[in-house]
Amino acid sequence: MKVSIDTPQERVKNLSLLPVLGYSPANGFVIGGAVSITEFLGNPKTTRLSTALLNASFTSKKQILLNFRFDLYLKENKWFVSGDNRLLFFAQSTYGLGIYGLQGQAYTFSLNGSDVAKTDSEQPMRFNYIRLYETVSRRIANHWYAGLGLMIDVDFNIKDQSLILDTPNQHLTSHYVYSRSFGFDTAHYSTNGLSFQIIHDSRDNPVSPFTGNYLNLAFRVNPVAFGSTQSSTMLYYEWRNYIGVSKSVPRNLIAFWFWGVLVTSGHVPYLALPAITWDTYNRSGRGYIQGRFRGENMLYGESEYRFRLSRDGLFGGVVFVNCTTASNPFTEQKVLNSIAPGYGFGLRIKMNKKDRTNIAIDYGMGDGFSGIYFNIREAF
């Protein structure tokens, strides 16, 4: 029997090679390269598609970005192995904790019980960052997995560029105030530990799903014995759902994405706190710059309508809306006290018909900010 070249085959790699030449609000102009790899590690009838994304780039903001992320389904989906690995020589501004700055809202904080004058909204920083997240999960029922992960976050060589301490007119920053208040070194710190997780994954394709849903619940323990600067625990959740709206055009669908991180005990270093666009593939928060919103606790939600533009499937489009809420321990702002909205639209260009890999070009708008976002694959 003749096998069509479009028929999924075991152990056949699909490669999408892409020069990275673009722009993003957090990085400026970016040049580099990316490789998207997909492969069935078992019989395609009984094994889900495995994916990996490797990219290296340099930016006009003097950043070096090295990333390697993967989601592997072993034979008959008995094991699920995932990784999120990064080495960044980075420059990024921070904007304080919680949701503020909307409609000109002021941001203030206190140190040792004394009020500090309003800080600048944008506080430039440089730092180096290592992330090593490696998880292994065993299938326990249809689409359900339980597993364990090693989680390492190390921030070092931190330079708080707008911090001024050695003059009568001191200028304090959110990073400095938070670090001093909770006993962290302002130049380096680590958050290392283990993650216990439950996963449900019924998506038809992890690169660009048409149907199904994805759920991840993880409880992370960061003890000092594992190298953490301070002991802490965190609860993470993520849910994605894909609902088709056209039987004749599966690509026309509505997608939902919700994720959140809660610090359940202890304190986490400032740069390790949850923030927009610091999710696995740096896709959340379109409409704002990376790190614009950060907090001890954060909740994020997004909905996207995806549709086909050309009959041959080469071009597609999206429109999206999102919202972010985060807490601030200094102002006692809780999640849901204030919400930052974002919205926008985008173009999709299909790079690989076999695994549905797309180039994504989006224009996002938020409150007082807008930007263009270039990526490989869908936002979620």
- pLDDT value for 22: 75
Total number of domains in the chain: 1
Give per-residue pLDDT as tens, 87-130: 999 999 999 999 987 755 555 555 544 445 444 578 999 999 99
Q: Is residue 8 part of a domain?
A: no
Give per-residue pLDDT as tens, 140-184: 999 999 999 999 999 999 999 989 888 777 888 999 999 999 999
Q: Is residue 189 part of a domain?
A: yes
Identity of residue 53: L
Per-residue pLDDT band at 228 (split at 50, 70, 90): very high
Per-residue pLDDT band at 1 (split at 50, 70, 90): very low
- pLDDT value for 104: 56
- pLDDT value for 108: 52
In terms of C-beta density within 10 A (0-12 exposed, 13-18 middle, 19 or more buried), how is residue 103 classed?
A: exposed
Q: Is residue 9 part of a domain?
A: no
Within 97-231, strands assigned E span: 109-111, 114-116, 125-141, 144-160, 189-201, 212-222
Q: Is residue 4 part of a domain?
A: no
- Integer Cα distance of 371 and 380 in angstroms: 18
Q: What 3-state DSSP class applies to 108?
A: coil
Mean pLDDT of 321-347: 95
Residue at token pair 């006290």: 337
Q: Is residue 1 part of a domain?
A: no
Give per-residue pLDDT as tens, 267-312: 999 999 999 999 988 899 999 999 999 999 999 999 999 999 999 9
Q: Is residue 3 part of a domain?
A: no
Domain that holds residue 350: 14-376
- pLDDT value for 345: 98
Mean pLDDT of 324-332: 93
CA end-to-end span of the chain, whole Å? 37
The percentage of the chain sitting over the pLDDT mark of 70, rounded to a whole number, equals 93
CATH label of the domain that carries residue 359:
2.40.160.50
- Beta pairing partners, 218: 197, 236
Neighbours of 112 (CB within 10 A): 8
Q: Is residue 7 part of a domain?
A: no
- At 227, phi and psi to the nearest 5? 100, 5
Give per-residue pLDDT as tens, 177-224: 999 999 999 999 999 999 999 999 999 999 999 999 999 999 999 999
Identity of residue 211: T
Cβ contact 183:230 at 8 Å: yes
- Integer Cα distance of 97 and 209 in angstroms: 34
Q: Is residue 229 part of a domain?
A: yes
